[in-house]
């Protein structure tokens, strides 16, 4: 590294340390928006970039579109210089570009990097020497080095000398009151040692603890391990639920009892399927990449199969419960309680509730839903329902043939539901006692 190139690193780190750097956050969703607020809080000027003009307009008007992020916090950020734009040319204004865009699966359950690659391709023409790019989107090991680095080099940049490249996986847990962006340790791996130095300087002012690892690939695999650990354990407990059900044992009673062991056991809870932006998706990123190395990830794939089958198992329980009451799914009125992927949030990404709704609809049921966090069914890339949340009253509950409890929001009045619903299929273990109108699934 010559004197000029060393100067790029020194100036960038100095700007970050003195909080004179402009932080560009690309993708203003559940990951990017909290990160923006944190950088504004510690004194940085933040430029937000997103392709969604509606999101940009709302942010610039001081509004929020995520339930647990208040409009007041957005307005406060604006008063401190935050601005959102759809103009990728403005990336040149930023000293750091942090990419927080989705990494879904395609129709064949293979990694879809189109959001990451299209975003990078839109940023690179406007980049300049002395900038750092950080990818936070979950992906397979090698993405940063194999996909992003060549794109930067195609512009004549020398990564680690002219510009700096790191991978630092997001660890957001929407709605979790015990952790926030500042307090969740930040793993960071650089393409070179200079990149790593720049990455640590980028995140240290905003995050209490930065955890350096040896490479971008190690950082990418770290994120996958975290979420595959959860997916595998959820697959195990879902399989245990099926076994317990066949043996007429309450799996939730068993889990509560096992959790009293003060060592060697961590409780995981069954449900109607996996939801969220990470756990249903991330294992497939690793299994896909592992094939390149001639490896078959049997353990991970088996857990994925079990978890993917859970919505169909739940529907079979609904069918059996209706059948015992001389009804079929076809023609029945079904109210789905909770369509967010987990309780007490408005996050719909990969929600198993939506798959349940689609299966029931395809089988001829008349579908409605109630969710205090999702008043109107949102526009989604793959799922379409023209529905609004139904208020829960004694009369409305009694009008449905079955109430399918899919997401256990605290806001639901479970006593009211149990008292007035003809039939409840409980996928979350809310009703602990044996009740005549409750079937556990």
Are 124 and 152 spatial neighbours (Cβ–Cβ below 8 Å)? yes
The catalytically annotated residue of 100, 188, 195, 278 is 278
Is 278 among the residues known to form the active site? yes
Q: Note whether 119 and 1 are within 8 A (CB).
A: no
Residue 16's CB is within 10 A of a number of other CB atoms, namely 24
Please, are residues 56 and 86 in contact by the beta-carbon 8 Å criterion?
yes
Angstrom distances, CA of residue 231 to CA of 110, 289, 306 = 17, 18, 10
Task: Please report the DSSP string for 367-389 in residue order.
Answer: EEEE-TT-SBPPP-SS-----BP
Integer Cα distance of 302 and 281 in angstroms? 14
Q: If we measure between CA atoms, which residue out of 300, 302, 276 comes closest to residue 289?
A: 300
In Å, what is the CA distance from 224 to each residue of 42, 264, 269, 328, 354?
29, 23, 20, 41, 25
**What are the angstrom distances between the C-alpha of 13 and each of 7, 131, 211?**
10, 10, 18
Kindly provide the b/e burial profile for residues 36-73, where b requires at least 16 CB atoms within 10 angstroms of the residue's own CB: bbbbbeeebbbbbbbbeeebbebbeebebbbbbbeeeb
Q: What is the DSSP letter of 32?
A: H
C-alpha 198/C-alpha 162 separation (Å) is: 12
Burial 269-308 (b: 16+ CB within 10 A, else e): ebbbbbbbbbbbbbbbbbbbbbeeeeeebeebeebbebbb
User: Which pair of tokens denotes residue 48?
Assistant: 């937000």
CA atoms of 284 and 302, how far apart (whole Å): 11
Residue 421, beta-bridge partner list = none
| Residue 375: HSE in the Cβ half-sphere, 13 Å Cα cutoff | 3
Which CB contacts under 8 angstroms, 24+ apart, belong to 357-362? 357/385, 358/383, 359/311, 359/312, 359/315, 360/315, 360/318, 360/329, 360/334, 360/336, 360/404
The alpha carbon of residue 43 and the mean position of all alpha carbons in its chain are separated, in whole angstroms, by 27
Which residue from 173, 174, 182, 224 is spatially nearest to 203, judged by alpha carbons?
182
- The set of catalytic residues is 278
């Amino acid at each position: 590294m010559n004197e000029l190139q060393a100067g790029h690193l020194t100036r960038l780190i100095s700007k970050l340390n003195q909080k004179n750097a402009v932080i560009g956050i690309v993708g203003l969703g559940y990951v990017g928006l909290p990160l923006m607020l944190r950088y504004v809080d510690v004194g940085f000027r933040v430029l937000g970039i997103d392709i969604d003009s509606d999101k940009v307009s709302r942010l610039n008007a001081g509004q929020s579109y995520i339930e647990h992020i208040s409009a007041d916090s957005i307005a406060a950020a604006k008063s401190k210089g935050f601005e959102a734009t759809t103009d990728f040319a403005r990336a040149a204004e930023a000293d750091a570009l942090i990419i927080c865009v989705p990494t879904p699966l395609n129709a064949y359950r293979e990694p879809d990097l189109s959001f990451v690659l299209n975003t990078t391709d839109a940023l690179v023409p406007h980049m300049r020497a002395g900038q750092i790019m950080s990818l936070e989107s979950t992906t397979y090991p090698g993405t940063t080095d194999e996909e992003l680095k060549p794109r930067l080099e195609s512009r004549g940049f020398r990564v680690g000398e002219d510009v700096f490249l790191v991978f630092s996986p997001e660890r957001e847990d929407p709605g979790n009151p015990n952790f926030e962006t500042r307090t969740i340790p930040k793993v960071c791996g650089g393409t070179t040692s200079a990149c790593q130095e720049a990455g640590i300087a980028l995140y240290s002012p905003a995050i209490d603890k930065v955890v350096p690892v040896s490479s971008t690939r190690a950082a990418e695999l770290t994120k996958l391990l975290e979420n595959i650990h959860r997916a595998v354990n959820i697959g195990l407990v879902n399989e245990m639920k099926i076994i317990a059900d066949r043996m007429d044992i309450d799996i939730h009673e068993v889990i509560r009892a096992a959790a009293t062991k003060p060592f060697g056991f961590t409780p995981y809870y069954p449900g109607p399927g996996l939801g969220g932006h990470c756990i249903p998706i991330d294992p497939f990123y690793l299994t896909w990449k592992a094939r390149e190395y001639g490896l078959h990830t049997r353990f991970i794939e088996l857990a994925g199969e079990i978890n993917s089958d859970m919505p169909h198992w739940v529907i079979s329980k609904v069918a059996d419960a209706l059948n015992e009451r001389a009804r079929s799914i076809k023609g029945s009125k079904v109210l789905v309680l909770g369509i967010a992927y987990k309780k007490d949030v408005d996050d719909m990404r990969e929600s198993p509730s939506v798959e349940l709704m689609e299966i029931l609809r395809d089988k001829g049921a008349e579908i409605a839903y109630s969710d205090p966090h999702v008043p109107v069914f949102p526009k989604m890339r793959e799922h379409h329902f023209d529905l609004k949340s139904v208020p829960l009253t004694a009369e409305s509950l009694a009008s449905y043939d079955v109430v399918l409890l899919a997401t256990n929001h605290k806001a639901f009045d479970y006593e009211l539901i149990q008292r007035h619903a003809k039939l409840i299929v409980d996928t979350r273990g809310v009703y602990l006692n044996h009740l005549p109108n409750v079937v556990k699934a």
